[in-house]
Structures are given as C-alpha cells and as structure tokens.
Copies of this chain bind each other. A is one copy, B any other.
C-alpha cells in the first residue's frame, strides 16, 4: 500500500511508500499526518494546510462494515484538527489502486479554474472542471459517471465548498451511484475547494489485489464478526428497521431532544418526525427502508426516501438531520425536512450544522420558526454568489454573528448535535472535550446514558460520565482507525469478544501480530496526535467548555443544567 501526494498548484504528484505511516489507517492516519505535516497555526484555507483522504486499516478487506473513509485536515470551522467520516465506495476502492491515502497539498491561485483529478494506479491526471463548477452535486456526479464510466468512484466538493463555506462537506459515491454520503463535519469541502479541486475520480478499471495474508484466520474471524453484528438487537433490528431516526422517540422520551434552539428537551411534534413515521412514509411511496452506505454493510441503516410522486428524493436521511431541522427548527413537515436533506447533499453542506444554522436564522428573526418552505429557500441560496447563502453556508457561529444572536450552541466552533448535553451528560462531556468540537460520534455517551448499552450511567448526573466519555473516545478513535462503521460499537460494547475479533481481523488481513491492546493503542495515539495539534494551535481547557447558557438555563422537562467545571472535564482527555 502507498500514499499518493498531489500538489494542487504545481500538478506534481508522487506515489510514496507508507514509511512512518505504516500500520495506521483511517482517522489514526489522517490525524498523524496532519499533526506531523501541517503548521498548527496556519490558516485552514492557506497553501500550508493539507487534506488527507484515507481508508481504514481494514479498508479493502471483506470484513463487514469496514468501508468507512476518513477525511482529515485543519478545520475551517473549528480551527483545530479534524477527522470527518463517511460511507460510500471510496475506502474499499483505494486498495484497488494500492493506496492507503491521498494527500492534497499546496493550492493554486484563487482565480485558477477548478480541476477534476483522475487517479489511476500509476498516474494522476488533472482535467478542467469548469463544466461542472457551481453545479449541484447530483447532476455533477451524473456528468462525471457519464464521462468516466458508471463504476467510477468519486468524491467531490459541492457549490458551498467551492465558496469555502465552513459547512462544506465532501460527498462520496454511494453503492447506488449517488453522491449521497458525506464527510459532513468541520468544513472539509472548503479545504478541498480552497485547493481548487472539484472532484477526485478513482479509476474504475483499477483492480490491484488486496487479499488477507492469513486467509483461513480471516475467514473465521469474519464469520464471528458478522454473527456479533447480527446478534445484537440495535444493529440487527433497531437500525435496519427504522434507520437512525428510531432515536427521535427514544431521545424525546428521555427529555433530551433539543427543541427550538436547545430551549426544551421535548418536542410536541416528535411523532410527526419519528423513525416509525418516516418508515411508514417510505413504504407507502415505494421507497426502501434498508440500504447500506457501503458495500459489505450488514446493518443497513440507510434508506431511500421518495417524494409524494414516488420519485427518489433523498437517502442517508439521518436522525441528526431530522432532529436539527424538525425539532430544533420546529419544522413539522417531514417532506420539507427530506427536501432540506437533499439540498444539503446537492450543495455539499453538513446537515447538522445547517439545521442548527437555520434555527439561528429563526432565532434572529430572518425567517419564522417552523417555516419549512422559508428554510428551503434559505438553503437553496447556499453555494451561489448570494450573500445570504454565504452567511448560512458558514454555520452557526457565523450566522449568529451576522444576525446578532447570542445563544449559539457550539463547542470549538462546531454546533452541537441531537442530544442535549444537560440531559445526556456522557455525550456532553464528549462535545466539550473531544478535539473534534461539538460531535456526538467522537464518544457516544448516549449508549450508557439512554440506551443502556455497554453500561448504565445516569445522564442527568455528573458521576461516571467523564470516565464514560473518555473510554468511548478511545474506543471510537480505534474503530475509526480500522475504517469500521461506528455502529458496530453497539454490538461490541455488549459483546465479550468484539474487540478481540476486530483485532483478529486486522491480524489476519495484514499478517501482523495485532492484539486488543494494539487496537486500543491506535485510538489513544490518535487522540494524542489530535490533542497535540490543537494545543499547538492555541486550544486550552477554556475551549473545553460548553456555552454559558447550558449552565444558566435549566432544560425542561427535567430541569437539568450543565454543571461540569473546566478542570473536571480535563480527565476525559487522554494523557
């Protein structure tokens, strides 16, 4: 396996041996490289920043749910290091080009045209992207498939990324030939946009072999692994049945569903936007309630959501999206929410950040609370020259600045997702302390606080939640390093041998000795890289705290507040 480095200014490129990066993958790879090679104090849109796309340690293997891809960079949104994680076909395709990672370096002049970069096993070609620049992602992706063949595997920055908006995603080709999978958080698309890269196309003809070194051992481990995933109710029933939106009712019931810009913990119209309701709508319109985001997924938590005419509208329609637009913006019409999800994929915007940002526009009186049509009109402006689109496309803190709003639910510049930290303190500690900024996927304390998976820790009290978050942050970083879907954690946390089987998969695939300790060390060292970068970028414990209003305003119905001190929170970080 190799690393491909591409200089986006000079158009030089180099296929390199892994060297010091050998043994790493996914987030462990992207965070190590960014920490080592990017000046911590550079501007995220400057030539000195780099963007890395890497498959996990198990990318290219046939282990179930091992096809997630990591995108790493210094984040325009947080100013810190970032790993943004996506499904799609990219991670499993990279090894077919004998690649672990692609690094985009330097940047052309601001007025240089956008480029498409076609990558084959031994060659990189730069092509003018003027024909698709500014175009929405779905039609642009169609054009690229028409040009490069419908087995081409693509990632691309959308119109918002071209404008360097801080909400910009990188969208990846999914198994159904749609650019519907997002490396959503942290503005990774803006970094790619600043480097004038519109799309990256992996040669469909590339077919390097990447077989397990120990085929027998791999086969055995792979089977056990599938059994673990299929043996847990969350990964075998809850997620496949209703998608992640099964959480709407669960979190609402727990009084932790942030409503009207984090004012309440329950939403009156939760039933209208629940996973159960969404599944009903999907079935009534001939959509699909189960899809995988990548080949080899057993969980199938994605879906195909059709419009009233029965035509495809969106997929990858997540709980966090439904929450952000539905409960937090008070939008009741699920079709409006689905339309906004599609617009976010078209423009290349993080749905969590945009949902929160629309709530800020409502808070600031720009559009009325709950007005789905007005929200759609706002989102449609993004990625164009329209200055309102530039404001919305830059996220919560930015829109708060534009509209004079002071209740901004962000940590390290990134808006908080779908679990109120006052009522789910385990994930609140993660929001506060992860190097990623407000992010539930970095240590999902919802497991222990609400779902009672992997333990039972009271989400309303401080006790036990710092430790819970710390352990989850490590496990998560390890899973991200392997390129595994994070949802495997539900099964692994309740399984006796889950971590061992993951280690066995790595050992058999790579032919190295790889233990559970090695697995956890991947996560710990990854976090150390991230914390080191952020420290050098100027982050301190003051940045490890949630906005003051979470401490001063009690959250109904349980009237809980956020009550951790900065010093208490430090114990959630690896030493």
Could you tell me how many residues of chain A have their Cβ less than 8 Å away from some Cβ of chain B?
45
Question: Which B residue's beta carbon lies closest to that of A107?
Answer: B406
**Which of A76, A190, A390, A540 is packed against the most chain B CB atoms within 10 Å?**
A390
Contact present for B164 and A404 (CB under 8 Å): yes
Q: Could you say which of B387, B405, B406 contacts A402, with CB atoms under 8 Å apart? A: B387
Residue A398 at the chain B interface, CB threshold 8 Å: yes
A391 surroundings in chain B (CB, below 8 A): 387, 390-391, 402
| Contact digits for A173-193, partner B, Cβ 8 Å, 1 yes 0 no | 000000000000000001001
A353 to B257: give the CA distance in the assembly, Å. 40
A537 surroundings in chain B (CB, below 8 A): 542
Residue A23 at the chain B interface, CB threshold 8 Å: no
A39 surroundings in chain B (CB, below 8 A): 548
Residue A50 at the chain B interface, CB threshold 8 Å: no
**Which of A190, A406, A547 is packed against the most chain B CB atoms within 10 Å?**
A406
A408 surroundings in chain B (CB, below 8 A): 43
Q: At the interface, is chain A mostly helix, strand, loop or mixed? A: loop
Question: Which B residue's beta carbon lies closest to that of A399?
Answer: B390
Kindly identify, within residues 343 to 379 of chain A, every residue whose CB is under 8 Å from any CB belonging to chain B. Answer: 363-365
Residue A272 at the chain B interface, CB threshold 8 Å: no
Residue A146 at the chain B interface, CB threshold 8 Å: no
CB distance from A176 to the nearest CB of B (A): 32
A403 surroundings in chain B (CB, below 8 A): 164, 390
Contact present for B365 and A111 (CB under 8 Å): yes
Contact present for A406 and B46 (CB under 8 Å): yes
Residue A163 at the chain B interface, CB threshold 8 Å: yes
CB distance from A311 to the nearest CB of B (A): 33
CB distance from A541 to the nearest CB of B (A): 9
Residue A295 at the chain B interface, CB threshold 8 Å: no
A44 to B397: give the CA distance in the assembly, Å. 13
Kindly identify, within residues 269 to 300 of chain A, every residue whose CB is under 8 Å from any CB belonging to chain B. Answer: none
A388 to B402: give the CA distance in the assembly, Å. 10
